[in-house]
Structure 1
C-alpha cells in the first residue's frame, strides 16, 4: 500500500489532467478547492497540509512539463493553465493493451464490436484516467496516472 500522500498526489494529478483535457485548448483557472475539496485557513491564514499538497502537485505537474500557467492566484489556483503539447499527446494516445485490461477488465464483446476509432478512444490514457477516477479506487487511479505521467513518449501514428 502506498503512502496516503502519494495516493492523494495521484488523485490530484488525475483530476487536474482531466479538467485541463476537457477544456483543451482553452486556458482555464485550476482551483485547488475544485480538486482537493474545500479548505479553511487557520487563525494565521495558512492553508491545511492537504490543500498545500494539492497545490504542490499542480506546481510539480508544471515543473515536469505537463502543464503551463501564467501565474498563481495566491496558493489557491493556477491562472490560465493549459496542457502542454506532450501532455495532450500522451493523454490522447492509446495505452498499452495490458494496462487497458488491468484497469478495464478483459476485452468484452460489446467493446470489440465497436468501430476501431471508438475502440482507440476507449483505450486512450485520458479515458483510463477518467474511468479510474469514476471508480474512486486509489490503486486504479495510481496505475492510470503512473502510466500516463511516466510512459515513454507516444509514437507518431
Structure 2
C-alpha cells in the first residue's frame, strides 16, 4: 500500500492533466482548490499541508516539462497554464496495452476507428481511473502515461 501523500499526488496530477488536456491549446488558470478541494488558511494565512502538496504537484509538473505557466497566483493557482508538446503527445497516444490488442477484437471491431483510437489513449485511461475513484487505478494510469517505455 502506497503512502497516502503519494496517492494524493497521483490524483492531483491526473486531475490537473485532464483539466489542461480539456482546454488545450488554450492557456487557463489551474486552481489548487479545484483539484484538492476547499482550503481555509490558518490565522497566519498559511495553507494546509494538503493544499500545499497539491500546489507542489503542479510546480513539479512544470519542472518535469509537462506544463508551462506564466506565473503563480500566490499559492492558489497557476496563471495561464498549458500542456507542453511532450505531455500533449503522450496523453494523446495509445497505451501499450491497447496497441497489443488484436485489431480483430469483437468489441473493437464494432466501433468506428476514430472511437477506437480515442478509447485507447492515455488521457482516456486517466479519465476512467479518476471516474472509478480507485487510487490504485489512478496512480497506475499516471505512471503508465509517463513512465512506461514508449514504442519505437
TM superposition score normalised by structure 1: 0.89
Residues 78-125 of structure 1, C-alpha deviations (whole Å, 9 max, x = no match): 000000000000000000116998xxxxxx844441122211210100
CA contact (8 A) 1:32 1:54 kept: yes
SS at match of 1:41: coil
Asked if residue 115 in structure 1 is aligned to residue 112 in structure 2, the reply is: yes
Deviation beyond 2 Å, 4+ runs, structure 1 = 98-101, 108-112, 151-155
Which of 134, 138, 149 pairs up with 1:137? 134
Q: Can you give the 5+ residue segments of structure 2 that lack an aligned partner in the other structure?
A: none
1:112–1:137 CA distance, 2 compared to 1 (3 A): farther
Name the structure 2 match of 1:17.
17
| Separation in structure 2 between the aligned mates of residue 139 and residue 8 of structure 1, nearest angstrom | 11
| Separation in structure 2 between the aligned mates of residue 81 and residue 39 of structure 1, nearest angstrom | 21
| Separation in structure 1 between the aligned mates of residue 48 and residue 99 of structure 2, nearest angstrom | 35
Asked if residue 152 in structure 1 is aligned to residue 149 in structure 2, the reply is: yes
SS at match of 1:87: helix
CA contact (8 A) 1:39 1:47 kept: yes
Residues 49-81 of structure 1, C-alpha deviations (whole Å, 9 max, x = no match): 000000000000000000000000000000000
TM superposition score normalised by structure 2: 0.92
Name the structure 1 match of 2:7.
7
Q: Can you give the 5+ residue segments of structure 1 that lack an aligned partner in the other structure?
A: 102-107
Q: Which moved more, 1:39-48 or 1:110-119?
A: 110-119
Question: 1:95-114, aligned counterparts within 5 Å?
Answer: 95-97=95-97, 109-114=106-111
Name the structure 2 match of 1:32.
32
Name the structure 2 match of 1:104.
none
| Separation in structure 1 between the aligned mates of residue 59 and residue 67 of structure 2, nearest angstrom | 9
